[in-house]
Amino acid sequence: MKRWFTWCVVSTVALVCLTSGGAAQRNDLKDFMRLKLKHSQLVLEGLVLGEFDKIARNSQDLSLMSLAATWQVLQTPQYIEYSRKFRVAADALSEAARKKNLDKAAEDYNRVTLRCVACHKYVRDVRMASLDRSPAATRLSACPRHPPHFLSGWPQACGYG
């Protein structure tokens, strides 16, 4: 009886630790993404006000954030490529701001924003696909011109997205 009680206590403590760790990671990611959004808003503010230092500083922060461990929510080649393209766009935005080229900076800001939207869409699609692994969903997700690659973001790779 004593052994069983001890096992229950240890199991409960372990479960609480594991559960709270997951919640902490989710909160860290949420806070991290809010910070990314804040930097994006500050870049827009800099564009509207013509404050090149604000644009350069915040776009560089966005680029550096993409290297952080918190950023790495998926470990797929597609996600790595999305992150790389985001970083390239953010770096181009920083460069345009340093050169005080407002038109180029505005174009690059749009490119950064499009990279954010595309990556978030990809992550949502992958997460939804992992929830629905029914045979019908698997058939619908396979590219008609290539072998099935269920979680690889085939619509974009094959010209459908």
pLDDT digits (tens, 9 = 90+) for 10-24: 444 443 343 344 455
Amino acid 2: pLDDT: 61
Q: Which of 5-14, 53-62, 113-122 has the lowest mean pLDDT?
A: 5-14
How high is the pLDDT of residue 132?
A: 63
Q: Is the pLDDT of residue 88 over 80?
A: yes
Q: Which of 12, 7, 65, 14 is nearest to 39 (CA)?
A: 65
Find, among 90, 129, 128, the residue nearest to 110 by Cα. Answer: 90
Two tokens at 60? Answer: 């560089």
Query: Given a cut of 80, is residue 109 above it in pLDDT?
Result: yes
- Report the pLDDT value the prediction gives residue 83, as an integer from 0 to 100: 92
109 token code pair: 């800001």
- Distance between CA atoms of 84 and 40, rounded to whole angstroms? 17
**Candidate from 40-49, 125-134, 138-147 with smallest mean pLDDT:** 138-147
Phi first, then psi, for residue 57 (nearest 5°) are: -65, -45
Domain 27-129 class in CATH: mainly alpha
Indicate the domain borders of the chain: 27-129
pLDDT band at 48 (very low <50, low <70, confident <90, very high): very high
CA 93 from centre of chain: 19
